[in-house]
Amino acid sequence: MQKRQIADKVYWLGAIDWERRLFDSLIPLPDGTTYNAYLIEGSEKTALLDSVDPPMADDLMAQLDGIKKIDFIVSHHAEQDHSGTIPGVLKRFPDAQVVVTEKAAGMLGDLLKIPKESMVSVKDGETLSLGDKTLQFNHTPWVHWPETMVTYLNEDRILFSCDFFGSHIATADLFVTDQGRVYEAAKRYFAEIMMPFRSMIEKNIEKLAGYDIQMIAPSHGQIHDRPSWIMEAYRDWVTGTPKNLVVIPYVSMHGSTREMVNHLAAALVENGVRVELFPLPVTDIGKLAMALVDAATIVVGTPTVLAGPHPLAAYATFLANALKPRVKFLSIVGSYGWGGKTVETLAGMIPNLKVEVIEPVLCKGLPSKTDLGSLDGMAGAIAEKHRENGYQ
Ligand code: FEO
């Protein structure tokens, strides 16, 4: 793919990774991804913003053929999917200065061994003139590493946001063409990458409010040429109230826990509460993470195995704790054969979740009428709490 113009003397460069299906050896990428870099040719200086993941370095280097000089390489984020090819670019353009936050300078030295003398740190709000184009750097810590920043191109009112507002979609379309598809991918991205840093993201959204942003050019996925909806979506995910939704990640070995989960789900629906069930042996954890963006309540369904929760239930609980969703209530349902410490083990795994725990329902073997009645009681209690809090 050749470089492509997105504004006057502003170009998309980068790579489309149609084949990638896993990020960080953890995060599912059902639609692949892109690594977007950008080239801005000012009347006096030229700047490259970010690079690409090292396995796709050849794509970027080929796009730079014919570029006589790069004066600045702006590195918004030290994670290697954006910074990893900077050493290769520096080899070709050894006089280029890598423009970074002070924190990123240290990280690029550690992660990529970029020499200190090749880097220049910029302060929050500092500007850099390329002649007829002016870059303004805005530090955005914890979006989603401590060193992250974004760049605003004053003359064209473009925000180069790196991971912020990004989405993992491999596509040859430069701009958003299907808002529904991008909304889902961006929500998945937010859930997996940004959600643990909600309070910092809120502050950084507020910081950006002073800019007149006509276009957001992220480092993954399509460019937002009508950016208001994605900024509004982020505001909702970060500061909105949870929804009237119960998320139930569950696993069942011989059917008892499944029966309990199905009974609870039906009772919740009867009580006017939305439910989403995630059978963990076949669940895409990205889908579960997305549901946690909205959920007011999580109920983990697990059998007791080897005296504790099923490992898949423990994994889902660990993940929920790490992602720090805005969930307010949590409970556990499940079946056991002769005993164990399922509730205690799971309860000890959620120190990050500021939740009220609703009395769990555990039963011996198949649920009895009494057990099913307890699940009805749990559904009623959850519905009441959602109503009291005005969750819709
Ligand atoms: Fe796309 Fe945090 O790197």
For 316-365, give the DSSP string: HHHHHHHH-----EEEEEEEESS---HHHHHHTT-TT---EEP--EEEES
Single pTM value for the model: 0.96
Distance (angstroms) between ligand 1 centre and the Cα of 81 equals 6
pLDDT at 331: 98
Counting from 1 in the atom list of ligand 1, the atom nearest the Cα of 35 is 1
Distance (angstroms) between ligand 1 centre and the Cα of 294 equals 23
Counting from 1 in the atom list of ligand 1, the atom nearest the Cα of 80 is 3
Nearest CA to ligand 1 atom 2: 79
**Residues within a 6 A CB radius of ligand 1:** 77, 79, 81-82, 144, 163, 219-220
Query: Which ranges constitute the DSSP H helices of the chain?
Result: 57-63, 80-83, 86-92, 102-112, 179-189, 198-208, 228-239, 256-270, 285-294, 311-323, 342-347, 369-388
Provide the 8-state DSSP code for 175.
B
Nearest CA to ligand 1 atom 3: 79
Q: Is 304 helix (H, G, I), strand (E, B) or coil?
A: strand
pLDDT at 364: 97
Q: Catalogue the E-assigned strands of 118-207.
A: 119-121, 127-129, 134-139, 149-153, 158-162
Asked whether the beta carbons of 150 and 76 are under 8 A apart, the reply is yes
Counting from 1 in the atom list of ligand 1, the atom nearest the Cα of 193 is 2
Distance (angstroms) between ligand 1 centre and the Cα of 82 equals 7
What distances in angstroms separate CA 214 from CA 40, 158, 205, 217, one per listed residue? 17, 6, 15, 10
**Rounded Cα distance, 49 and 133, in Å:** 14
Distance (angstroms) between ligand 1 centre and the Cα of 296 equals 28
Distance (angstroms) between ligand 1 centre and the Cα of 173 equals 20
Distance (angstroms) between ligand 1 centre and the Cα of 54 equals 13
Counting from 1 in the atom list of ligand 1, the atom nearest the Cα of 166 is 1
Q: Is the dihedral of CA 163, 167, 170, 171 positive or negative?
A: negative
Distance (angstroms) between ligand 1 centre and the Cα of 174 equals 19
Nearest CA to ligand 1 atom 1: 163
**Rounded Cα distance, 39 and 379, in Å:** 55
Residuewise pLDDT in 10s, the chain (392 residues): 899 999 999 999 999 999 999 998 889 999 999 999 999 999 999 999 999 999 999 999 999 999 999 999 999 999 999 999 999 999 999 999 999 999 999 999 999 999 999 999 999 999 999 999 999 999 999 999 999 999 999 999 999 999 999 999 999 999 999 999 999 999 999 999 999 999 999 999 999 999 999 999 999 999 999 999 999 999 999 999 999 999 999 999 999 999 999 999 999 999 999 999 999 999 999 999 999 999 999 999 999 999 999 999 999 999 999 999 999 999 999 999 998 999 999 999 999 999 999 999 999 999 999 999 999 999 999 999 999 999 99
**Rounded Cα distance, 79 and 99, in Å:** 15
Select from 79, 83, 82, 220 the least CA-distant residue to 142.
79
Distance (angstroms) between ligand 1 centre and the Cα of 113 equals 19
Paired residues of 159 in beta bridges: 152, 216
Paired residues of 216 in beta bridges: 159, 224
Residue 30 phi/psi, 5-degree rounding, is: -65, -25
Q: What residue type is assigned to position 323 of the chain?
A: L
Distance (angstroms) between ligand 1 centre and the Cα of 258 equals 37
5-29 residue pLDDT tens: 999 999 999 999 999 999 988 899 9
Q: Which residues of 202-232 are buried (b: 16+ CB within 10 A; e: fewer)?
A: eebbeebeeeebebbbbbbbbbbeebeebbe
Select from 81, 118, 84, 80 the least CA-distant residue to 100.
118
Counting from 1 in the atom list of ligand 1, the atom nearest the Cα of 219 is 1
Asked whether the beta carbons of 222 and 171 are under 8 A apart, the reply is yes
Tell whether omega for the bond before 254 is within 30 degrees of 0, i.e. cis: no
Counting from 1 in the atom list of ligand 1, the atom nearest the Cα of 144 is 2
Asked whether the beta carbons of 48 and 13 are under 8 A apart, the reply is yes
Select from 21, 29, 34 the least CA-distant residue to 223.
34
